[in-house]
Amino acid sequence: MIHEPTLKAAAGDAIFTKARVIQRQGNDAVHSNRPVCQYDALQVLKELFRFSYWLAHTYARGAKSAAS
């Protein structure tokens, strides 16, 4: 789903690249017999944070918290 044209257009190259890194590493972790090294896991976690931040910043503007 990350190749859907509207996501690619909205996200731009930098965010799309982060999504590809997350996807590739996730697929390798699931479909490979080799263990995931700590460095790779940390890098994917950093990219996931950046992607999630972009997602929240882009689509949650003006949203009110449940406590309000």
pLDDT given at position 1:
84
pLDDT given at position 67:
60
Dist CA 68 CA 59 (whole Å):
19
pLDDT given at position 59:
86
Residue matched to tokens 């890194």 = 21
- For the entire predicted model, the pTM comes to 0.78
Q: What is the phi-psi region of residue 12: left when phi exceeds 0, alpha when psi lies from -120 to 50, beta otherwise? A: left
Sign, CA dihedral 3-34-48-13, equals: negative
pLDDT given at position 58:
87
pLDDT mean values, one per 10 residues, the chain (68 residues): 88 93 94 94 96 90 62
Q: Is residue 38 within 8 Å of 31, Cβ to Cβ?
A: no
pLDDT given at position 60:
85
